[in-house]
Chain A
């Protein structure tokens, strides 16, 4: 058995919370972002116990503090949610009133390494956040590439690694009610299929298209910034999203998994643990 993690509420961001190493031995923060109609716990609960139980085979997780971000996914536009996600990351990396890091890493300071793990809509938000971050840095540095690159490399968000489960980056196939009918939360999904965000997630929507083009451009232009190229994992039974991604991504498929089970590890499906690490 690995070391235990203690829960910490982050009430400034709805029902967000963290599971942090009790002995402050972590050097990496893993931020989990759920998808359309999901919640942090219902989406990621299976990670909690398994990273501990399977720590012998996956010791990398021992050095990670886990953060579970909560947001309203059905009615709040993706752009707004991406901005709030940015504030969340800034918050957990910030210092409290006494000047101490809110979530100290093994160094005693904030974490030096960040991994984003997104599912479905959550993946789209993460990518929007990265592009927003780059745009801010570009403006601040008068679009001078060498200065932008230097500043971007120093930014923990842009230097993060992306692990995306069934990302909705190329759009959802929400006309397929069948995709929902085979899921656990059929009722949530049925309601979601008529929500505002559903339109934002349609293929080639005015929300998705710029994220794709800007990410691909940024990835080509700033190859030294790791955050734009993601590792992507789809289930071969996914009927909810289009199982494609950006040119810069590395795509893999998991046999026998659908849109919802893809990010839920169990004793017979430990690939998600390996995929994130």
Chain B
């Protein structure tokens, strides 16, 4: 290995450590409820913090596989966070928060994993596409550049407090709590209702950005399809799959509902707003429902919900004692 290559890997790992691993482990360690035994432990964002830490180590594993990180140093980092990692993995299992199957293959088997299997961390990945042409310097360079792009995009959302709060709540709050939240009853000073909507929008934007990024890179030249970039796309999709969240319970329904409420807030009669509604529906449907045959029905429900939300917001404004009666003089 050349000194340049070693420097490249060392600096990459330093960046990764400060943006992924350190915040990830800090959020688990500083969790004020972490000393309380399961199953009482999960706090407001605990499940998503656990997901975030596992996800971080999957990024570390993928980066090591493509030589973005030095394997020995990566393994050392893994050892340093092993305790937190096991804790996070066990929590996800015991709280039955989400499916752990076929997501992370280097944790030991069984209901209460006690070790990280290092050979699996560094070895070929089970049930995962493998790269074909990393011996070609140009391909390797391209794959690493795309990997860095994905890391940078992800670094903006992973462990971002409002995002973690949003994902946790949309995935695991009861219907009653969720309703109270969206009405603003359960908001705190560090998580406003506006923050909820912004986190929702940022979440959708992140998933779209990842998809757009790969669309631009899989085939920049229409005649050449880069299979290793496609492989990278599949691997990245698998890593972030638990963050997508829509497979969990009622989250999908809540996605559409939030979209509808957002539209009602910015409602103004006219073709532009209608176009905005279509655009937002497509954005949510593209992520929440891959079966396009269901889209017409979802669109119809979405239109009904939007109408309902506009009516509700108008009624609330009419009787809002703070805002007065904007419709009283009409």
Q: Which residues of A contact B (CB under 8 A)?
A: 1, 4, 6-9, 11, 15, 17, 22-23, 39-42, 45-46, 48-49, 52, 70, 74-75, 176-178, 180-182, 184-188, 190-191, 193-195, 266-267
- The answer to whether A266 touches B12 (Cβ under 8 A) is no
With both beta carbons as reference points, the residue of chain B lying nearest to A45 in the complex is identified as: B149
Measured between beta carbons, the chain B residues less than 8 angstroms from A42 are 153, 156, 205-206, 209
- The answer to whether A48 touches B208 (Cβ under 8 A) is no
- The answer to whether A41 touches B208 (Cβ under 8 A) is no
Supposing A9-B18, A181-B279 touch, asked if A191 and B152 sit within 8 A by C-beta, the answer is no
Report how far A74 CA is from B201 CA in the complex, Å. Answer: 13
Report how far A119 CA is from B280 CA in the complex, Å. Answer: 23
Closest CB in chain B relative to A115 CB, distance in Å: 21
Supposing A9-B15, A194-B266 touch, asked if A41 and B156 sit within 8 A by C-beta, the answer is yes
With both beta carbons as reference points, the residue of chain B lying nearest to A179 in the complex is identified as: B272
Measured between beta carbons, the chain A residues less than 8 angstroms from B160 are 15
Closest CB in chain A relative to B161 CB, distance in Å: 12
The winner among B15, B209, B276, B280 for most chain A CB atoms within 10 A is B276
Chain-A contact segment, one of B85-93, B192-200, B234-242: B192-200
- The answer to whether B8 touches A188 (Cβ under 8 A) is no
Report how far A49 CA is from B150 CA in the complex, Å. Answer: 12
- The answer to whether A48 touches B266 (Cβ under 8 A) is no
9 nearest A-B pairs in the assembled complex, by CB-CB distance: A6-B11, A187-B201, A178-B272, A7-B15, A188-B201, A177-B272, A181-B276, A41-B152, A181-B275
Supposing A7-B11, A177-B276, A267-B221 touch, asked if A1 and B149 sit within 8 A by C-beta, the answer is no
Report how far A81 CA is from B260 CA in the complex, Å. Answer: 31
- The answer to whether B212 touches A184 (Cβ under 8 A) is yes
Report how far A195 CA is from B12 CA in the complex, Å. Answer: 37
A-B contact pairs, 28 of them (CB 8 A): A6-B7, A6-B8, A7-B12, A7-B152, A9-B19, A11-B19, A15-B155, A15-B156, A17-B152, A17-B155, A22-B8, A23-B4, A39-B202, A40-B152, A41-B155, A45-B149, A48-B152, A49-B145, A49-B149, A176-B272, A177-B273, A184-B205, A186-B280, A188-B198, A188-B201, A188-B205, A191-B262, A266-B220
Report how far A253 CA is from B114 CA in the complex, Å. Answer: 61
Q: Which residues of B contact A (CB under 8 A)?
A: 4, 7-8, 11-12, 15, 18-19, 138, 141, 145-146, 148-149, 151-153, 155-156, 160, 194, 197-198, 200-202, 204-206, 208-209, 212-213, 216-217, 220-221, 259, 262-263, 265-266, 268, 271-273, 275-276, 278-280, 283
The winner among A11, A15, A48, A181 for most chain B CB atoms within 10 A is A181
Measured between beta carbons, the chain A residues less than 8 angstroms from B262 are 187, 190-191
- The answer to whether A191 touches B205 (Cβ under 8 A) is no
Supposing A49-B145, A181-B279 touch, asked if A22 and B11 sit within 8 A by C-beta, the answer is yes
- The answer to whether B208 touches A45 (Cβ under 8 A) is no
Supposing A1-B141, A177-B268, A184-B212 touch, asked if A8 and B194 sit within 8 A by C-beta, the answer is no
Report how far A42 CA is from B279 CA in the complex, Å. Answer: 19
Q: Which of B11, B15, B209, B279 is close to A45, meaning CB atoms less than 8 Å apart?
A: B209
- The answer to whether B276 touches A75 (Cβ under 8 A) is no
Closest CB in chain B relative to A108 CB, distance in Å: 17
Report how far A248 CA is from B148 CA in the complex, Å. Answer: 39
* Majority SS at the chain A contact face: mixed
Measured between beta carbons, the chain B residues less than 8 angstroms from A70 are 156
Closest CB in chain A relative to B25 CB, distance in Å: 15
Measured between beta carbons, the chain A residues less than 8 angstroms from B273 are 177
Supposing A188-B202, A190-B263 touch, asked if A48 and B283 sit within 8 A by C-beta, the answer is no
Measured between beta carbons, the chain B residues less than 8 angstroms from A74 are 198
Closest CB in chain B relative to A165 CB, distance in Å: 18
With both beta carbons as reference points, the residue of chain B lying nearest to A1 in the complex is identified as: B141
The winner among A4, A17, A266 for most chain B CB atoms within 10 A is A4
Report how far A42 CA is from B160 CA in the complex, Å. Answer: 16
With both beta carbons as reference points, the residue of chain B lying nearest to A4 in the complex is identified as: B8
Report how far A266 CA is from B197 CA in the complex, Å. Answer: 31
- The answer to whether A186 touches B276 (Cβ under 8 A) is yes
Closest CB in chain A relative to B66 CB, distance in Å: 14
With contacts A41-B209, A190-B262 known, what are 5 further pairs, Cβ within 8 A? A6-B7, A17-B19, A49-B149, A177-B266, A178-B272
Measured between beta carbons, the chain A residues less than 8 angstroms from B212 are 184
Report how far A67 CA is from B322 CA in the complex, Å. Answer: 44
Closest CB in chain B relative to A183 CB, distance in Å: 9
- The answer to whether B263 touches A75 (Cβ under 8 A) is no
Closest CB in chain B relative to A62 CB, distance in Å: 15
Q: Which of B138, B202, B216, B265 is close to A266, meaning CB atoms less than 8 Å apart?
A: B216
The winner among A1, A9, A41, A75 for most chain B CB atoms within 10 A is A41
Report how far A1 CA is from B137 CA in the complex, Å. Answer: 10
Report how far A7 CA is from B262 CA in the complex, Å. Answer: 36
The winner among B7, B205, B217, B275 for most chain A CB atoms within 10 A is B205
Supposing A8-B11, A45-B153, A48-B149 touch, asked if A193 and B266 sit within 8 A by C-beta, the answer is yes
